Amino acid sequence: CSIRAAVDEAAAATTPVVVHLGAGETHTLSLAGADDTNAGGDLDVRAAGGTVTLVAEAPGAAVVAPGSDGVIDVHEGTVRLVGVGASGATGDGWRVRSGAVLLAEGATSHSNGGAGLAVDTGAVAVTTNVTLAGNGATYTNSTGVIDSYSAAAIKADSAINITGGVVTTTSSGTGGKGLKSDGTITIGSITGGPTLNITTTGARFQQSGSDYNHPKTIVADGAISIVNGTTTLNSTDDGVHSKTSITISGGTHVIDAISPTQGVGEGVEAPIINFTGGTTSIVASNDGINSTYGTVPGGAEGNDGSQLNISGGIIVAYGVDAIDANGDITITGGVTILDGRTNGPEEAIDYNGTFLMNGGTLIAAGSNSNMTKAAGSASTQVNFFLKSSAALASTSLLHIQDSSGSEVLTYKPRNNVYYFHVSTPALAKNAQYQVYYGGTYTGGSYVGGLSNNNTWGLLTGGTWSSTGATLKKTFTTSSTATVNTQSF
């Protein structure tokens, strides 16, 4: 019988039913009509017996729906897809209605404009592999304003919660998204987390005027909480973006936000950004970390009230500005390792509000932009703002030690740089320090050196030698102030 008839029969059964799709079979749906009765359009499944399972006996079994509707629409009960491909529609590949459950194991969903997986409020979906390709487009909404839509691998009306398993998504369309929620997104829990591999490969597209629809691997209107897990994000624009807040408290995360368009591609972007734990490694073609509300009162350098708070974890970030804070920065803990470009006006740390260095370890290297500022005078932890009159080579090392010769830190920059921000809990007032550039480092490794940032950064666990090094400065810190600016 046809796939539609088989699904109807299975859905009407009073006990769980398995529908087997033969190896290499392709079941094509006619989408002449779009309804919710399974008479036409997509496969509308109502699992009266509790569970309907579609199983591909071997790779290649697929349900194809060329047309403007979706492919599989789960209205009630539980539908389990094992190895089944869904493709061809410009609607959603899979849709899960309120109260229904979708379990997808090793399955793929390929939509040409809708979502690979769309989850309504009150629905539950557990997936292990979603693949999406399709283009975004513009349209005129009900108020006469030009708006846009773009394909998303996983889309939810209210919330996305991923607590375990392996989720792999690819979105190749213009403006494509990986995980997209109109509400919140939560990844992992205190006890464990998933493995996420999320990729976008498309470009941005123009909505109207200077407004563009940008690819993003994780995006939400509400708060994004990354609690645990292993995340690999490869975006052709933004990595993690929220209109509300982003909190990273655990796990291991590699974020590449590399855009072919100059001036875009943010690693982590939201009005409020909190790093409290985990290891996060970011490479971005624009800003590594951007705390912003998107509107800046008082001009381009005005404080918009946004916040970047770092209290724990390891953050390694490289970008045009490694940190671009349109509001305030407060660092109270953790290890923050930053590198920016050689030439201004870009900076390793760019902030419009206040910058309080109150704890933790910070090493940031960047350009000689005259916009670069030291940390704020209200900072409670001793810190250095070091300024070189000549570019310092990326092939060499910054080494700082105290008067007894004990290492404060040794750092290798990614680019040729001029200025450094340095702070650790070991720095003291009214104490002498020496700043060297050069030398060699034997053994050890880079702190937080994940795959995209493993050739530069803060070195630990090895031994620095002064052979070939130049003593740039010997100075004594202030007995009263925490901020110490030194030039050489």
* pLDDT score for 431: 99
Burial class, 381, CB count within 10 angstroms (exposed 0-12 / middle 13-18 / buried 19+): buried
Condensed to tens digits (0 to 9), the pLDDT of residues 319-338 reads 999 999 999 999 999 999 99
Q: What mean pLDDT comes out for the span 305-320?
A: 98
In degrees, rounded to 5, the angle at the alpha carbon of residue 277 between the alpha carbons of residues 198 and 282 is 45
Question: DSSP code of 393?
Answer: P
Grade residue 261 by pLDDT with cuts at 50, 70 and 90. confident
Question: DSSP code of 189?
Answer: B
Cβ-contact 396, 412 below 8 angstroms:
yes
Condensed to tens digits (0 to 9), the pLDDT of residues 280-303 reads 999 999 999 999 998 654 445 689
Whether 249 shows a pLDDT value over 90: the answer reads: yes
The token pair at 64 is: 């194809």
Grade residue 188 by pLDDT with cuts at 50, 70 and 90. very high
Nearest to 72 by CA among 94, 53, 50, 92: 94
Grade residue 5 by pLDDT with cuts at 50, 70 and 90. confident
Residue for token digits 């995360």? 253
Q: What mean pLDDT comes out for the span 212-227?
A: 89
Gap between the Cα atoms of 166 and 93, Å rounded = 19
Question: DSSP code of 16?
Answer: -
Whether 199 shows a pLDDT value over 70: the answer reads: yes
- Greatest mean pLDDT among 18-22, 114-118, 175-179: 175-179
Nearest to 115 by CA among 177, 186, 33: 177
Q: What mean pLDDT comes out for the span 478-484?
A: 99
* pLDDT score for 212: 64
Q: Where are the alpha helices (DSSP H) in 140-238?
A: none
Nearest to 67 by CA among 96, 90, 93, 36: 90
Condensed to tens digits (0 to 9), the pLDDT of residues 410-431 reads 999 999 999 999 999 999 999 9
* pLDDT score for 147: 40
Grade residue 396 by pLDDT with cuts at 50, 70 and 90. very high
Question: DSSP code of 192?
Answer: B
Q: What are phi and psi of 190, to 5 degrees?
A: -60, -30
* pLDDT score for 328: 98
Question: DSSP code of 134?
Answer: -
Question: DSSP code of 60?
Answer: T
Query: How high does pLDDT run on average in the chain?
Result: 84
Q: What are phi and psi of 7, to 5 degrees?
A: -65, -40
208 backbone φψ class: left, alpha, beta (φ>0; ψ -120 to 50) = beta
128's enclosing H/E stretch is: none
* pLDDT score for 48: 64
CA distances, 486 to each of 210, 280, 420, 422, 458 (Å): 42, 30, 10, 11, 21
Strands 417-423, 383-392: pairing kind: antiparallel
Q: What mean pLDDT comes out for the span 308-320?
A: 98
Condensed to tens digits (0 to 9), the pLDDT of residues 89-146 reads 566 777 888 877 777 777 777 666 666 777 787 777 766 655 555 454 443 445 554 4
Instruction: Write out the DSSP string of 212-258.
Output: EE--EEEEESS-EEE-SSEEEEEESSEEEEESSEEEE-SSEEEEEE-
Other beta carbons within 10 angstroms of residue 405's beta carbon come to 8
Say which range, 170-184, 315-329, 348-362, has the weakest mean pLDDT. 170-184
Choice between 352 and 168, residue whose per-residue pLDDT is larger: 352
Instruction: Write out the DSSP string of 257-300.
Output: E--SSTT---SEEESEEEEEEEEEEEEESSEEEEE--S--TTST
* pLDDT score for 165: 82
Q: What mean pLDDT comes out for the span 211-223?
A: 84
The token pair at 43 is: 């496969």
Whether 25 shows a pLDDT value over 80: the answer reads: no
Question: DSSP code of 376?
Answer: P
Strands 62-67, 26-28: pairing kind: parallel
- Residues paired with residue 180 on neighbouring β-strands, in sequence order: 155, 219
* pLDDT score for 97: 84
Whether 452 shows a pLDDT value over 80: the answer reads: yes
Gap between the Cα atoms of 36 and 29, Å rounded = 14
Question: Which residues, at least 6 apart from 406, have a Cβ–Cβ distance to it below 8 Å?
Answer: none
Gap between the Cα atoms of 323 and 308, Å rounded = 9
**DSSP reduced 3-state for 485:** strand
What percentage of the chain carries pLDDT values higher than 70?
77
Residue for token digits 């071997």? 58
* pLDDT score for 33: 47
